[in-house]
Amino acid sequence: MNTSEIGRHVMVGFAGTQVSDELRYALVELGAGGVILFTRNYEEPAQLRELAAEMRELSVHDRLWIGVDQEGGTVQRFRAPFTVWPDMASFAEAAPGLSSEALKDPKRREQATADVRKFARFLADELRAVDVDWNFAPVADLNTNPDSPVIGRRAFHEDPDYVAAFVAAFIQSTQSQGMLACAKHFPGHGATTEDSHTALPILDIGEDVLNKRELAPFRAAAEAGVASIMTAHVLYPALDEVLPATLSPRVIPRLLRPMPYEGVVVSDDFEMAAIAEGYDLGE
């Protein structure tokens, strides 16, 4: 396997709003197969379109994947003049100020699901307009810990059935617009008390609980035909006492593939402290 064949499976980030020497090297010499964009790469829509065109021209592959985390709420890399959306929990509330208890009413729940579909479609349309083709959303975690420093209201709800319905609706609507979706963070990050950007969270719950609770939205994502699923930088001792889900040889074969799911598996960012402070890039 040559460098470009290996590089095809790697998505890189970079600093700045134009193609840097470092990015050029990654695309041309290392054959990186994708680029993830952040707020640091964004000035305005026309600049994004020009950037995407130049990156695609440099790519040694037939297709360069360009992705972004555009969830709405606190995790929305491109802001005005892009539509600034509320967090995902807002859609589960069905209307501003409405308690999530209202979701027990089937009519309210259907309205919330319809709102999620519209939200996902608008997100996808805005991203496609600047030649981005992969949105790392939706969050398929459960909001089981409202005080979570990393998930919280990024998740639709704490109820697995509600989250499963919203996740499926988001995915189907996103992908109907020609945009790849990504359900994250497998096998569940919502109950953690630490932020994987700054430390390695440990979630000490059994596989039976994961199956009944955290995995329900991911099963719905797989059934909805999601293009990709992102792993969590979280240690689950019941599954692997040593390695977090992203690096574990047990988690994906044991929990994800049997769903069944045969699509793309994406890691969360390797620059996050949960990985970067415990493992070198070679590992």
List the pLDDT tens digit at each of the 283 positions of the chain: 677 788 899 999 999 999 999 999 999 999 999 999 999 999 999 999 999 999 999 999 999 999 999 999 999 999 999 999 999 998 877 544 445 566 777 887 788 899 999 999 999 999 999 999 999 999 999 999 888 888 999 999 999 999 999 999 999 999 999 999 999 999 999 988 777 787 788 999 999 999 999 999 999 999 999 999 999 999 999 999 999 999 999 999 999 999 999 999 999 888 877 677 777 766 6
Query: How far from 127 is each of 26, 76, 256, CA to CA, in Å?
Result: 23, 12, 28
Residues 6+ away with beta carbon under 8 Å from 262: none
Q: What is the DSSP letter of 82?
A: S
> CB–CB of 256/214 below 8 Å?
no
Q: Which of 185, 268, 269, 280 is catalytic?
A: 268
Each domain of the chain, given as residue ranges in start order, spans 1-67, 69-276
C-alpha–C-alpha distance, residues 159 and 141, integer Å: 10
> CB–CB of 237/202 below 8 Å?
yes
Q: What is the DSSP letter of 229?
A: E
Q: Which of 125, 131, 195, 197 is catalytic?
A: 197
Verify whether residue 197 is a known catalytic residue: yes
Nearest-CA neighbor of 42 among 7, 11, 6, 66? 66
- Confidence (pTM): 0.93
Give the CATH number of domain 69-276; options: 3.20.20.300, 3.40.47.10, 3.30.420.40, 3.20.20.70. Answer: 3.20.20.300
> CB–CB of 272/240 below 8 Å?
no
